């Protein structure tokens, strides 16, 4: 069976073609999407979980590659008093719920796709990301096959134009290699990749009745991709669209960055980010940025380090707001960064339909609530939204022609702040908002049906 697989920064989904229309696979009891999150009681148990679901012909080679991790996994099971077959690694909503129950324990990662193109990854870090992505793909594939009552053999997987703002093609090759290895280990016999904005545009193209030049703006969880594409009903049937893609741009800037910016400017003041020291200087900002920068491995490592704990203890002696800074100490001690940013994400969603949103931070301090306004949100996200605007202009510049339609998609695209900025940049061009989550998956499904 052939499918389109959107391995997204925020969510994973699978679609397929049936009677010339796209069908989404219900991956959970509540919908078509699985959160791109993983929780392991110990990171050494991830390789063990991968090994158990590998195709038989790959197990021997994988066991050789991960011999030390598999050996340590046995010791970890004894230390944690886990039964040999007791589940110890979780994905999706299950992963997030385990993290909420035990944030200071275990190993939790959100949006692993955001890290795949990172520069300077060591061999052991690349191996870990291969295992994380493999396990997630295994579980998503298994769930889809269970629902479809069929074996999935071929997949078209979406990828951003650029996985990283820096690193260029080397970062793209590294990320695509990780995805390729993971897909093979997950049991896919053949895999093709397709730029996500092109996939999103393909779904929209099916609704056109004549040729149009369309700027597809895909604002996802971890990346924003823009492509100016010539579309028409006739082109929809072609298998090579290279000449129709007139200009691309992409960068690792998306919903996660908006959440982080909102957390920093909207929530961190209640953790002491605007307090002063005894010498009347503003408190150092780095610990606060590190606390919310959940898509930056180095920042998270620094925030969790003993040196950060020592720094915060020293700052407590000098700050004019010790009661606020103590909240950051609590977040650092109990590893609550993801929960804080998750609250910012909920506020972002709430502010899409309202001018105000109350953020409850009871997990930090009883009855702690922060009221955020739409105006605060717009101000907080100025930097990431400006970068999205620049990407749109770059794609148009590369294409050498202006779009007739702007098609906006991606989970973050529902924000009025994004719409308003696009209208400001292109006031006289029709803007169409697509399925916020399903456009890419639908396009990938169409392409899988075509190329396989």
Q: What is the pLDDT of residues 300-349, one digit of tens each?
A: 889 989 999 999 999 999 999 999 999 999 999 998 998 999 999 999 98
Claim to verify: residue 28 and residue 148 sit in the same structural domain:
yes
In a domain, 444, yes or no: no
Examine the pLDDT at 166 and tell me if it is beyond 60: no
Domain count, the chain: 3
Q: Could you tell me which residue, 428 or 421, shows the higher pLDDT? A: 428
Claim to verify: residue 136 and residue 265 sit in the same structural domain:
no
Claim to verify: residue 121 and residue 149 sit in the same structural domain:
yes
Examine the pLDDT at 388 and tell me if it is beyond 60: yes
Section 355-368 average pLDDT: 95
Confidence of residue 236 (pLDDT cuts 50, 70, 90): confident
Give the contacts of 318 (CB within 8 A, at least 6 positions apart). Answer: 277, 278, 279
Cβ atoms < 10 Å from Cβ of 371: 11
Claim to verify: residue 96 and residue 128 sit in the same structural domain:
yes
3-state SS assignment for residue 275 = coil
Over the stretch 98-133, which tens digit does the pLDDT of each residue have? 887 877 788 999 889 988 998 889 999 999 999 999
Q: What pLDDT score was predicted for residue 435?
A: 65
3-state SS assignment for residue 265 = helix
CATH of the domain at 225: 3.30.420.40
Q: What pLDDT score was predicted for residue 302?
A: 92
In a domain, 441, yes or no: no
Examine the pLDDT at 203 and tell me if it is beyond 80: no
Q: Which of 352, 372, 392 is the last residue of a domain?
A: 372
Examine the pLDDT at 85 and tell me if it is beyond 60: yes
In a domain, 445, yes or no: no
Phi and psi based region of residue 410 (left: phi greater than 0; alpha: psi -120 to 50; beta: remaining): left
Claim to verify: residue 143 and residue 50 sit in the same structural domain:
yes
In a domain, 153, yes or no: yes
Claim to verify: residue 121 and residue 267 sit in the same structural domain:
no
CA 159, CA 8: separation in Å to the nearest integer? Answer: 8
Q: Which of 144, 160, 188 is the last residue of a domain?
A: 188
Section 59-82 average pLDDT: 95
Does residue 232 contact residue 382 with C-beta atoms inside 8 Å?
no
User: What is the residue whose two structure tokens read 């096959």?
Assistant: 145
Q: What pLDDT score was predicted for residue 189?
A: 96
Examine the pLDDT at 436 and tell me if it is beyond 70: no
Q: Could you tell me which residue, 165 or 355, shows the higher pLDDT? A: 355
Q: Which of 322, 342, 372 is the last residue of a domain?
A: 372
Mean pLDDT of the chain: 91
Section 392-400 average pLDDT: 94
Claim to verify: residue 19 and residue 61 sit in the same structural domain:
yes
Claim to verify: residue 334 and residue 411 sit in the same structural domain:
no
Claim to verify: residue 414 and residue 400 sit in the same structural domain:
yes
pTM score: 0.77
Claim to verify: residue 342 and residue 387 sit in the same structural domain:
no
Name which of 356, 358, 363, 370 is nearest 338 in CA terms.
363
Examine the pLDDT at 357 and tell me if it is beyond 80: yes
Q: Could you tell me which residue, 20 or 72, shows the higher pLDDT? A: 72
Name which of 415, 416, 417, 409 is nearest 437 in CA terms.
409
Over the stretch 263-299, which tens digit does the pLDDT of each residue have? 999 999 999 999 999 988 999 999 999 999 988 878 8
In a domain, 56, yes or no: yes
Examine the pLDDT at 1 and tell me if it is beyond 90: yes
Claim to verify: residue 13 and residue 124 sit in the same structural domain:
yes
CA 296, CA 202: separation in Å to the nearest integer? Answer: 32
Q: What pLDDT score was predicted for residue 312?
A: 97
Claim to verify: residue 76 and residue 218 sit in the same structural domain:
no
Confidence of residue 367 (pLDDT cuts 50, 70, 90): very high
Name which of 163, 43, 174 is nearest 120 in CA terms.
174
Burial call 72-83: b when 16+ CB within 10 Å, e when fewer:
bbeebbeeeebe
Structural domain of 422: 208-255+383-435
In a domain, 442, yes or no: no
Confidence of residue 161 (pLDDT cuts 50, 70, 90): confident
In a domain, 144, yes or no: yes
Q: What pLDDT score was predicted for residue 65?
A: 96
Q: What pLDDT score was predicted for residue 131?
A: 98
In a domain, 193, yes or no: no
Section 152-163 average pLDDT: 91
Examine the pLDDT at 417 and tell me if it is beyond 80: no
Burial call 395-430: b when 16+ CB within 10 Å, e when fewer:
bbeebeeebebbbbbbbbbbbebbeebbeeebeeee
Does residue 110 contact residue 37 with C-beta atoms inside 8 Å?
yes
């Amino acid at each position: 069976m052939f499918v389109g697989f959107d391995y997204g920064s925020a969510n994973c989904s699978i679609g397929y073609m049936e009677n010339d229309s796209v069908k989404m696979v219900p991956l959970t009891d509540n919908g078509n999407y699985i959160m791109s999150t993983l929780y392991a009681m110990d990171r050494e148990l991830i390789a063990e979980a991968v090994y158990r679901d590998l195709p038989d012909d790959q197990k021997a080679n994988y066991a050789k590659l991960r011999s030390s991790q598999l050996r340590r996994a046995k010791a970890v099971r004894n230390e944690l008093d886990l039964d040999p077959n007791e589940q110890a690694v979780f994905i999706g909503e299950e992963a997030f719920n385990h993290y909420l129950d035990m944030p200071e324990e275990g190993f939790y990662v959100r949006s692993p796709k955001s890290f795949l193109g990172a520069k300077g990854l060591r061999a052991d870090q690349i191996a870990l990301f291969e295992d994380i992505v493999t396990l997630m793909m295994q579980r998503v594939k298994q769930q889809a096959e269970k629902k479809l009552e069929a074996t999935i053999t071929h997949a078209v997987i979406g990828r951003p134009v650029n996985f990283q703002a820096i690193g260029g093609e080397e970062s793209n090759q590294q990320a695509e290699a990780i995805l390729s290895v993971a897909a093979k280990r997950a049991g896919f016999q053949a895999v093709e990749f397709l730029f996500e904005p092109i996939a999103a545009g393909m779904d929209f193209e099916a609704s056109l009745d004549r040729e149009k030049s369309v700027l597809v703006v895909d604002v996802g969880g971890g990346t924003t991709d823009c492509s100016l594409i010539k579309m028409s009903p006739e082109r929809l049937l072609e298998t090579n669209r290279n000449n129709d893609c007139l200009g691309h741009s992409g960068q690792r800037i998306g919903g996660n960055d908006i959440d982080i910016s909102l957390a920093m400017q909207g929530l961190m003041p209640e953790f002491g980010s605007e307090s002063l020291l005894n010498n009347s200087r503003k408190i150092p900002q780095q610990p606060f940025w590190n606390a919310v920068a959940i898509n930056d491995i180095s920042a998270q490592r620094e925030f969790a380090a003993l040196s950060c704990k020592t720094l915060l203890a020293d700052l407590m002696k000098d700050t004019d707001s010790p009661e606020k800074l103590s909240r950051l100490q609590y977040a650092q001690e109990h590893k609550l960064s993801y929960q804080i940013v998750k609250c910012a994400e909920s506020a972002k969603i709430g502010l899409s339909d309202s001018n105000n949103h109350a953020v409850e931070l009871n997990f930090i301090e009883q009855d702690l609530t922060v009221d955020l306004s739409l105006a605060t949100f717009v101000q907080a996200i100025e930097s990431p939204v400006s970068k999205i605007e620049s990407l749109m202009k770059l794609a148009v510049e590369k294409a050498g022609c202006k779009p007739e339609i702007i098609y906006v998609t991606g989970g973050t695209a529902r924000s009025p702040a994004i719409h308003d900025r696009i209208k400001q940049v292109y006031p006289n061009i029709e803007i169409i908002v697509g399925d916020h989550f399903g456009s890419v998956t639908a396009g990938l499904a169409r392409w899988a049906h075509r190329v396989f």
